[in-house]
């Protein structure tokens, strides 16, 4: 069991108990970044600006700065590098890769 547990994201049960990760571990930081990227602004009443804009059905080229900005604002333990995949299988679809690093 994690020394200082945080709920693992996505929230789930393992062995009948909520899954947890150790605070400040790479798994904890990655889960927090995933929560930022999966949340749209306005979805959290306590922080309406939290999250990233929905880029589905946006015209290319995609402005990816919103991803990096959101990670820098909401998860200071992480640094994000976002890049588009040059090998798109169709001109209307863009694949995005997020590389996560910690300050250590």
- Rg from Cα positions in the chain: 16
Q: How many structural domains compose the chain?
A: 1
Does this model's pTM top 0.75?
Answer: no
Residue 41 contacts residue 74 (beta carbons within 8 Å) = no
**CATH number for the domain that contains residue 61:** 3.10.450
Residue pair 23/96 in contact by the 8 Å Cβ criterion: no
Summarised one tens digit per residue, pLDDT across range 60-78 is 666 677 778 888 899 888 8
Domain of 58 in residue numbering reads as 5-102
Are 20 and 6 within 8 A, CB to CB?
A: yes
Which tens digit of pLDDT belongs to each residue from 16-49? 999 988 888 888 888 888 888 888 999 999 999 9
Confidence band (pLDDT; 50, 70, 90) for 1? very low
More confident residue, 94 or 70: 70
The pLDDT value given to residue 24: 83
Residues 6+ apart with CB under 8 A from 36: 50, 51, 52, 70, 71, 74, 75
């Amino acid at each position: 069991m994690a020394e200082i547990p945080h709920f693992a994201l996505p929230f789930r049960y393992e062995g009948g108990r909520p899954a947890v990760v150790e605070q400040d571990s790479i798994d904890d930081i990655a889960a927090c970044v995933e929560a930022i990227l999966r949340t749209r602004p306005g979805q959290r009443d306590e922080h309406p600006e939290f999250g990233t804009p929905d880029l589905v059905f946006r015209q290319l080229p995609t402005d990816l700065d919103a991803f990096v900005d959101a990670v820098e604002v909401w998860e200071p333990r992480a640094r994000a590098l976002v890049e588009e995949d040059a090998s798109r299988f169709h001109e209307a679809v863009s694949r995005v890769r997020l590389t996560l690093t910690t300050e250590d």
